[in-house]
Amino acid sequence: MTLKTRMILLTSIFIALIIGLTSILQWGQTTRLKEQTESVRKELDSNSEKSVKSTLTEQASEISNHLIILEQQIDKNMLNAAYTLQQIDSKQKLSNKDLEKIAKQTGMTDLLLTDSKGVFTYSTDSASLGFNLVELDPASKGLLNGTKEIQKGPLKLKQETGEIFKFLSVPRLDGKGIAESALNAEVFEDSLAHFIQKGNGIEALYLIDSTNLVLTENLQDGQDSLWKQGEKVENAKVEKAMQTKKLSLQMAEDNAEIYYPVIFDGEVRYVLMAKINTKPYFENAALANNALDNTQKDLVSSNVTIFTISILLAVVGIVLFIIFIRSRFKPLEAINQEAQKITNGDLRVKDIEVSSHKKDEISAIAISFNTMAANLKDVINRVSLDSQQVVASAEELTASADSLNSASEHISNTMQEVAAGTDSQVKEVEETNRTVQGMQQYVKQIFVNSNIVSEKANETSGKAKMGNEAMKTVVNQMNTINHTFLETSKLIGELGKHSNEIGAISKVINDIADQTNLLALNAAIEAARAGEQGKGFAVVADEVRKLAEQSSQSANQITNLIQKIQSETGNAVNSMKTATVDVENGIKLVHQTGSTFEDIKGSIDEVSGQITEVSISVEQLTQGMEQMAAVMNLVKKVAEQTDFGTQNVSAATEEQLASMQEIFASAASLTKMAEDLMMLIGRFKV
């Protein structure tokens, strides 16, 4: 094996080793990158699943809390209605029509009264008459024996109509039975329907009571029914939620089922079952996985490109080295001298003179050396030009990588600011949602109160009208009394003969005075019920009562005069004149009282009309607040999903930033290598 062959072989082996080691290092780096990518992907999937579970749990908790608050508000309204029935029942005997009127005023569907044994005797629902409440609900027995003051019942389903009802009972004040209020609770179905909104993934909602009876069924359009309303279900997950008081969440592919216990006073009253499509919740994780896949593919492609360029450069180097070896065999001495120049970097060597007639190996070496020197000059020039191009390309790559790195940093910072902004937005939306819900409750209470005030105003107007009619009767009676006094004055001379008739008239006057006194007392009671608006009417009623008492006293005086009429006729005449004046004054006062009653009735009618207008406005406001509450719930869900997606994109952007920093470092290393090559080329003088 010749020296040239050995040199070529050793050089080829060396270059092959370098390429092999470089390839191994690149393969190892790529493998580690794949492992890190897979680890990040698994962690991302795990975090996404945890986040989705947390979101679904919060959503179920929100629905449960909404149901609890709604039922508590209904219980409060029903308790007010039951107490109202309890108070009215203690003051007067009620009929079924009276119960219907009270039910309308209090907003209840039905009102019922039982006897002391618990049997329904009066009811707005005729079908319930004759049934025993204690047999239907044994817990209500405590209301009869005084051990319980209130009996609140859960939601119940009427099998014959499929309607949802709630019942609340209190004892009658006289101990003669139970007063019960009943309300159609279809608002629960309407409320749950608001949660099935496009985009949140909820496909079905079921509410199941403690007896495994399906109370409500709400489905998204196009969804198949899992259970029917009124159906008894046998489901281990429902039983588990009832017994453990803990939620059960199962996810399979793109679907999830949640069994959430609705707890009242430490006991599970219902189980909320929600069927949810989880595909929208995993969209952000899918985007992040695609970004990781694209980054990994780009890095693998870059490694393949670098490996290919290394192979090509190695092949070119080996070829140039072979040419270099072949061109350096010249006559030994000349070759040595010129080789020293070349060793010092001076390629300005002279051609080795060779005799044309000599064909020996030295001549061949000399000729080869001349050729080598010329070729070496050309190679160095080309390498210098190529090195300059490599340096320029490396600098451009470094600048591009630097610009891309800066852009990635800016994107990462922007995404972090956006994530912080979405977090703040979620909090503000939640606060606004709570405020709207509070306002909604206040408006509903105003609506109920305004209806009650309107009913009371109408009732007071009726009483005022009755009082006015009574005052007209009093006027007529007072006119009769006045006429009687006049006739009595004319016939005073015959008073002895008609004393018995005058006694009878005195009795009539006493009766009228007692009746007037009773009417005044009733008017004062009605004025007290009317509150502030009835104060003026109460003063007038008191004046009427005083006039009645004065009339009674006058009648007594007449009786005494009858007893003394034989001996004191003259005094009787004077007394009759005085009584006549008093009666005329009484008539004037009664006329004034009648006018006052007319004014009171007009004012109450005007107030009643204004209250009716307020009730209509409040009802419209209530509807608007309900729509606002539904919109705020939707805004809250969208804000939370945006926040979650922004955080995932921010994490992916940070990963991309790290990759760009690695590329930037590689570009800087390539620039350094090209500059080193230029320094080496600069040693040669051509």
Domain with CATH 3.30.450.20 in the chain: 47-288
Count of alpha carbons within 13 Å of 494, Cβ hemisphere only? Answer: 7
d(CA 270, CA 567): 92
The three-state secondary structure class of 269 is strand
- Looking at per-residue confidence, does 313 or 478 come out higher? 313
Give me the percent of the chain exceeding a pLDDT of 70: 52
Q: How far lies 31's CA from each of 37, 300, 306, 327, 529, in Å?
A: 10, 10, 16, 44, 89
Structure confidence at residue 247 (pLDDT)? 87
Q: What is the mean pLDDT of residues 491-509?
A: 63
Q: Which residues pair with 242 in a beta bridge?
A: none
Q: What is the mean pLDDT of residues 354-377?
A: 66
Task: Choose which CATH entry (3.30.565.10, 1.10.287.950, 1.10.287.3510, 3.40.190.10) describes domain 376-681.
Answer: 1.10.287.950
d(CA 472, CA 279): 79
What CATH number was assigned to the domain covering residues 47-288?
3.30.450.20
Q: What is the mean pLDDT of residues 547-557?
A: 68
Most confident of 238-252, 481-495, 602-616: 238-252
Structure confidence at residue 404 (pLDDT)? 59
How buried is residue 111: exposed, middle or buried, by Cβ count under 10 Å (0-12/13-18/19+)?
A: buried
Residue 542 — φ and ψ, nearest 5°?
Answer: -65, -40
The pTM for the full model equals 0.40
d(CA 51, CA 49): 5
Buried residues in 508-531 as b, exposed as e (16+ CB within 10 A): ebbebbeebbebbeebbebbeebe
187-195 helix and 3-91 helix, angle to the nearest 10 degrees: 160
Structure confidence at residue 255 (pLDDT)? 82
Report pLDDT digits (tens) over 447-493: 676 667 567 656 766 766 776 676 677 667 667 766 766 676 676 65
Residue 582: is its pLDDT beyond 60? yes
In SS3 terms, 346-410 reads as ECCCCCCCCCCCCCCHHHHHHHHHHHHHHHHHHHHHHHHHHHHHHHHHHHHHHHHHHHHHHHHHH
Residue 288 — φ and ψ, nearest 5°?
Answer: -65, -40
Query: Which tokens hold the place of 60?
Result: 């179920």
CA nearest neighbour of 465 among 590, 600, 589:
600
Q: H or E segment at 94? A: none
- What residue has token string 């004393």? 499
Q: What is the mean pLDDT of residues 36-48?
A: 67
Residue 357: is its pLDDT beyond 80? no
Structure confidence at residue 473 (pLDDT)? 74
Q: What is the mean pLDDT of residues 574-589?
A: 68
Structure confidence at residue 330 (pLDDT)? 44
Q: What is the mean pLDDT of residues 557-579?
A: 64
Domain with CATH 1.10.287.950 in the chain: 376-681
Please name the amino acid found at residue 297.
K
Residue 649: is its pLDDT beyond 60? no
Q: What is the mean pLDDT of residues 199-225?
A: 85
Check if the beta carbon of residue 106 is closer than 8 Å to that of residue 181. yes
Check if the beta carbon of residue 236 is closer than 8 Å to that of residue 308. no
Structure confidence at residue 132 (pLDDT)? 92
Residue 141: is its pLDDT beyond 60? yes
Check if the beta carbon of residue 153 is closer than 8 Å to that of residue 167. yes
Report pLDDT digits (tens) over 369-417: 677 767 766 777 776 676 677 667 667 766 765 665 676 566 566 656 6
